[in-house]
Chains A and B, each alone.
Chain A
């Protein structure tokens, strides 16, 4: 996919691209941290019809929403590509022995061969959690490995 980058002297940068369905959209990044999402007029590719101004914080939230979904998609893709490799989403229940304990305590990789690659908490994706990451009840743990390995992690997280 081609993303076109244009310098806007005195303001910042503009990135635009065309979607597969033929709509053009872009993002204007101001040096001040302000962001604008612009959507081009389908009839006149020179003009924008929509221009949504985002503060730095709002832009971060939008990026997380788009980015989080992308990580899950990419996992699914990975699964399709590598035969024999599956991803599984395991929920930490409130009775789980690992509720409140660190990721390192599970020793999941040594014990099962499968890896914990992400945790979804309150709708946010925490990619590549660190060994000292503490699980909470309600977390959804994304595991990648063989069929046996991932189901072993599921049992491990449920029963210890």
Chain B
């Protein structure tokens, strides 16, 4: 009885606190993710008020949070959209990967954390937060702009890359021997491909099974299916996140719409718990030593995304200001970077500074990205004008 009371008190305090933080974030028009992370840092190991009783629930809740986050991300896209974008934008996708994963990989190797940690950091620096970027696009009324489809297709491609990247990382993190790992990788690649084909060709059958006019039936069936597939995917080292993402892609149309509506509140709760959980596992005392590296990585990360955006927009025939907007829109890193790092920090023997480094990195970019989007237009205009102005000293002759 005593224990139950304690669990409820702690959970209630945490969730209420998150609600207030989310309200504050909304007041200032910023993403609540950095505040959730900070809250986690405050409650966790070495924090102000460590949680003890509620940890078991938060532990599981965080996993469900990842699964629901990825499921709703998958819901946003149809299989046709994914394949269509891939066909048209593959070169840009490749450029995006090379430019933006390299800094993370390089830092991982330079710090001597080993190849697997380097691969994890590469993923962290690569993926733009599609949630934050979509919100910025909506808030600033930029959906009509010429560069928007280009930006969105880069986001889609990154998410698709993740569907193959996460199984690879999960397998490697499981510490399997090389031969075993390569079998695992083959299984993962096959599973993802088969699931995408099922999504493209037989999505209708799945939808027929799930569809119901009753919200109660729908929420139970959909949630059950997501957890089942996620568990199955985790069991064969494909990563639960990818399993959930694939379920999301399979659903489309009316069913996707109602599934999103009924699962969104659930996702909000568990995703917030996930961000807190990541913060919980990070000791605030570990942050200062990695802050300099994180800041340097963030500066490089801003630069590489700007270049990606500029090149992609120019290729699509967008003018200079639009190209700058495209670059800035790609800066925010968020939920996905944390998801990738979350997989890694749970593994024993992983460099203990990885978690704090990623937390600091995301904290910087998730705040800087949306702010930069608000000032990019005047800055870009000024920059372009300055370059157009003739040099002060007239050349001789």
Partner of A9 from B153, B257, B377 at Cβ < 8 Å: B153
| B152 interface contact, C-beta 8 A | yes
Partner of A10 from B141, B156, B321 at Cβ < 8 Å: B156
The verdict on A14 contacting B144 (CB below 8 Å), with A9-B85, A46-B322 known, is yes
A residues in contact with B149, CB < 8 Å: 6-9, 14
Complex Cα distance A53/B319, Å?
A: 25
Docked-complex contact A36 and B152, CB < 8 angstroms: no
Complex Cα distance A47/B325, Å?
A: 10
Closest to A53 in B: B141
Docked-complex contact B145 and A9, CB < 8 angstroms: no
Closest to B257 in A: A31
Complex Cα distance A47/B141, Å?
A: 10
Docked-complex contact B144 and A48, CB < 8 angstroms: yes
Docked-complex contact A36 and B143, CB < 8 angstroms: yes
Closest to B142 in A: A48
Docked-complex contact A10 and B130, CB < 8 angstroms: yes
Complex Cα distance A38/B155, Å?
A: 23
| B63 interface contact, C-beta 8 A | no
Instruction: Give the one of A31, A47, A48, A51 with max B CB within 10 A.
Output: A47
Stretch touching chain A among B1-9, B76-84, B330-338: B76-84
| A11 interface contact, C-beta 8 A | yes
Docked-complex contact A11 and B152, CB < 8 angstroms: yes
Complex Cα distance A28/B146, Å?
A: 12
Proximity string of chain B (146-182) to chain A, C-beta cutoff 8 Å, 1 when within and 0 when not: 1111001101100000000000000000000000000
| B318 interface contact, C-beta 8 A | yes
B residues in contact with A155, CB < 8 Å: none
Complex Cα distance A63/B143, Å?
A: 21
Complex Cα distance A28/B149, Å?
A: 12
| A131 interface contact, C-beta 8 A | no
A residues in contact with B318, CB < 8 Å: 46
| A56 interface contact, C-beta 8 A | no
| B343 interface contact, C-beta 8 A | no
B residues in contact with A159, CB < 8 Å: none
Docked-complex contact A28 and B144, CB < 8 angstroms: yes
B residues in contact with A10, CB < 8 Å: 76-77, 81, 130, 134, 152, 155-156
Docked-complex contact A7 and B84, CB < 8 angstroms: yes
Complex Cα distance A73/B321, Å?
A: 40
Closest to A27 in B: B144
Closest to B323 in A: A46
A residues in contact with B257, CB < 8 Å: 31-32
| A135 interface contact, C-beta 8 A | no
Which interface class (under 10, 10 to 19, 20 to 34, 35 or more) fits A? 20 to 34
The verdict on A36 contacting B81 (CB below 8 Å), with A10-B76, A46-B147 known, is no
| A17 interface contact, C-beta 8 A | no
Closest to B141 in A: A51
A residues in contact with B143, CB < 8 Å: 8, 11, 14, 28, 36, 38, 51
B residues in contact with A11, CB < 8 Å: 134, 137, 143, 152
Complex Cα distance A45/B146, Å?
A: 8
Complex Cα distance A8/B318, Å?
A: 16
Proximity string of chain B (195-210) to chain A, C-beta cutoff 8 Å, 1 when within and 0 when not: 0000000000000000
Complex Cα distance A47/B324, Å?
A: 12
Distance (Å) between the CB of A97 and the closest chain B CB?
47
Partner of A48 from B77, B141, B153, B156 at Cβ < 8 Å: B141
Distance (Å) between the CB of B321 and the closest chain A CB?
6
B residues in contact with A45, CB < 8 Å: 146, 319
Proximity string of chain B (114-154) to chain A, C-beta cutoff 8 Å, 1 when within and 0 when not: 00000000000000001000100100011111111100110
| A2 interface contact, C-beta 8 A | no
A residues in contact with B148, CB < 8 Å: 8, 14
B residues in contact with A9, CB < 8 Å: 76-77, 81, 85, 149, 152-153, 155-156
Proximity string of chain B (60-96) to chain A, C-beta cutoff 8 Å, 1 when within and 0 when not: 0000000000000000110001001100000000000
A residues in contact with B85, CB < 8 Å: 9
| A133 interface contact, C-beta 8 A | no
Closest to B313 in A: A46
Closest to A10 in B: B76
Distance (Å) between the CB of A55 and the closest chain B CB?
14
Partner of B321 from A7, A14, A36, A46 at Cβ < 8 Å: A46
A residues in contact with B76, CB < 8 Å: 9-10
Complex Cα distance A48/B257, Å?
A: 28
| A145 interface contact, C-beta 8 A | no
Distance (Å) between the CB of A54 and the closest chain B CB?
13
Partner of B322 from A8, A28, A47 at Cβ < 8 Å: A47
Top 6 A-B residue pairs of the complex, sorted by shortest distance between their CB atoms: A38-B144, A51-B141, A46-B322, A46-B146, A10-B76, A48-B144
Known A7-B149, A51-B142; further 12 A-B contacts with Cβ < 8 A: A7-B81, A9-B153, A10-B152, A28-B144, A38-B141, A38-B143, A40-B144, A45-B146, A46-B145, A47-B321, A47-B377, A53-B141
Contacts from A to B (Cβ < 8 Å): 6-11, 14, 16, 26, 28, 31-32, 36, 38, 40, 44-48, 51, 53
